[in-house]
Structure 1
Amino acid sequence: MSSYLNAENLKLKRTMTKKLVLIFPIITLFFGIMSGVYYELNTFNWWYMMMLPGSIAVLCALVNQKEEKKIKYRAVFSMPIDLKKVWTSKVMLIAIYVLFCCIILPLGAALVGKFILPRIISSSALKYIVVIPIINAITAAVVIAVTSLWQIPLCLFLARKFGFFVPIILNVAVGITLNSIMAVKSIWWICPYSWTSRLMCPILGILPNGQIPGAKDYMLNSGVIPIGIILSIMLFVVLITATSRWFKNQEVI
C-alpha cells in the first residue's frame, strides 16, 4: 500500500495542490487577525465551519483533475494494478494533507497570538486576549481532522462523477448550512456535518456561532467527543469501502 501512496504523492510533485496545504490555514490565520482579543477562538471557528469543508473539496477536486486532465484515467485503468488500492491511496494522501493543514492552524495561531497580536491591538486590551491552551488546540486539530475524514471519499467521488465544481459547491453550501442548524440540536449525531463543530464546544469552549458558552451550558458536555469520533470513523470506513468498490468497476471513457 505504501508504494501506491508514494506514487500518488509523486503525481502531485510541484503542483498547486501541495502548496494549498500551507495556503489554506495561512489564509484563515490572516483573516482571524480581525477578531482582536478573540483571535484564536474565531480562527478555529472559521476553520472548521467554513474553510475546511471548502479546502477538502478543493483538494479532492484537484487530485481528481490531475488524473482527468488530458488522459482521463487511461494510464491508471490500463495498468495491471489494484484499482481499489489506487482509490484508497488517493483518499489517504488527501487525509494526510488535511491533517497537516489542521496541525499548522493551532501552531500558527499560537505564534500569531504571542508575537503579532500584541503589536496590533491596544495595550489596554492585552489582558482580555482569550488564549486556547496548546494541549486543547492540538487535540482540537487532530479531532477536526478525524471527524472530517468522511468528507474525503465523498468529495473525491463527487469530483470523479460530476466534475470539479460540484463537490466544492455542495460541501461548502451544505456543510455551512447544516453545521449551523444541526450542531446545537439534541439530534446533532444524525448529521455528519455537525459532528466537528459539536465536538469543538467542549474541547475549545466555542459554540458553532463563535460565541463563548456559559459555564453550565449543555453544549460543553464532553460525552459527545467519543460519540462523534466513533461515528466519523464508521462513516469514513463505509464511504471509502463503497467508493473504492465503485472505482474498481470504472472503465476508461
Structure 2
Amino acid sequence: MSSYLKAENLKLKKTMTKKLVLIFPIITLLFGVMSGVYYELNTFNWWYMVMLPGNIALLCALVNQKEEKKIKYRAVFSMPIDLKKVWTSKVILIAIYVLFCCIILPLGAALVGKFILPRIISGFALSSIVTIPIVNAITAAIVIAITSLWQIPLCLFLAKKFGFFVPVILNVAVGIALNSMMAVKSIWWICPYSWTSRLMCPMLGILPNGQMPAAKDYMLNTGVVPIGIILSIMLFVVILIATSHWFKNQEVI
C-alpha cells in the first residue's frame, strides 16, 4: 500500500490540492480574529461547521479532477494494478491532508491568541480572553479529523460519479443544514453530519451555534464522545469498502 500512497502523493506535487492544507486553516484563523475574546472558540466552531466540510469536498474534487482532466483514468484502468488499493490510497492520502489541516488549526490559533490577539483587542483585559488549553485543542482537532473521515470516500465517489461541483455543494450546504438541526437533538447519532459538532460540545464547551453552554447543559455530556468516534470509524469503513468495490468495477469510457 505504501507504493500506492507514494504514487498518489507524487501526482499532487506542485498542485493546488496540497496548498489547500495551509490555505483553509489560515483563512479560518484570519476570520476568527473578528471574534475578539472568543477567538479560539469561534475559530474551532467555524472550522468544523463550515470550512472543514468545504475543504474535504474540494480536496476530493481536485484529486479526482487530476485523473479526469485529460485522460479520464485511462492510465489507471489500463495498468495491471489493484484498483481497490488505488482508491483506498487516494482516500488515505486525503485523510492525511485533513489531519494536517486539523492540527495546523489549534497550533495557529494558540499562536494568534497569544501573540497577535492581545494587540488587536487591547481595550479588553487579557484575562477576559477565552482560551483552550493546547492539549485539549489538539485532542479535539484529532477527534474532528476522525469524525470527518467518512466524508472523504463519499465526496470522492460523488466527484467521480457526478463531477467537480456536486460534492462541494452537497457537503457544505447539506452539512451545514443538518448540522445545525440535528446536533442539538437527542437523536443526533442518526445524522453523521452532526457527529463532530455534537462531540465538540463536551470537549471544547462550544454549542453548534458558537455559543457557550450553561454549566449543567445536557450538551456537555461526555458520554457522546466514544459513541461518535465509534460510529464515525464504522461508517468510514463501510463507505470505503462500498466505494472501493464500485471503483474496481469501473471501465474506461
Deviation per CA, 1:26-61, whole angstroms, max 9, x where unpaired?
Answer: 000000000000000000000000000000000000
Does 2:32 align with 1:20? no
Does 2:71 align with 1:71? yes
**C-alpha separation in 1, matches of 2:99 and 2:59:** 13
Does 2:148 align with 1:145? no
AA of the residue aligned to 1:219: M
**C-alpha separation in 1, matches of 2:89 and 2:198:** 29
Q: TM-score, normalised by structure 1?
A: 0.99
**C-alpha separation in 2, matches of 1:84 and 1:210:** 40
SS in 2 for 1:215: coil
SS in 1 for 2:125: helix
Match of 1:58 in 2: 58
Aligned-pair distance for 1:127? 2.0
Does 2:197 align with 1:197? yes
AA of the residue aligned to 1:167: P
SS in 2 for 1:166: helix
**C-alpha separation in 1, matches of 2:69 and 2:174:** 27
**C-alpha separation in 1, matches of 2:205 and 2:217:** 10
AA of the residue aligned to 1:243: T
Match of 1:224 in 2: 224
Match of 1:180 in 2: 180
Match of 1:241 in 2: 241
**C-alpha separation in 1, matches of 2:212 and 2:128:** 14
Aligned-pair distance for 1:88? 0.1
Aligned-pair distance for 1:135? 1.2
AA of the residue aligned to 2:154: L
Q: TM-score, normalised by structure 2?
A: 0.99
Contact preservation (8 Å) 1:37, 1:125: no
AA of the residue aligned to 1:97: Y
**C-alpha separation in 1, matches of 2:92 and 2:83:** 14
Aligned-pair distance for 1:122? 2.3
Match of 1:5 in 2: 5
**C-alpha separation in 1, matches of 2:182 and 2:122:** 37
Aligned-pair distance for 1:142? 0.2
Runs of 4+ in 1 over 4 A off after TM superposition: none
- Give the CA RMSD over aligned residues: 0.5
Equivalent residue pairs, number: 253
- Segments of structure 1 that go 5 or more residues without pairing to the other structure are none
Identity of aligned residues (%): 89
**C-alpha separation in 2, matches of 1:126 and 1:144:** 28
Does 2:96 align with 1:86? no
Match of 1:125 in 2: 125
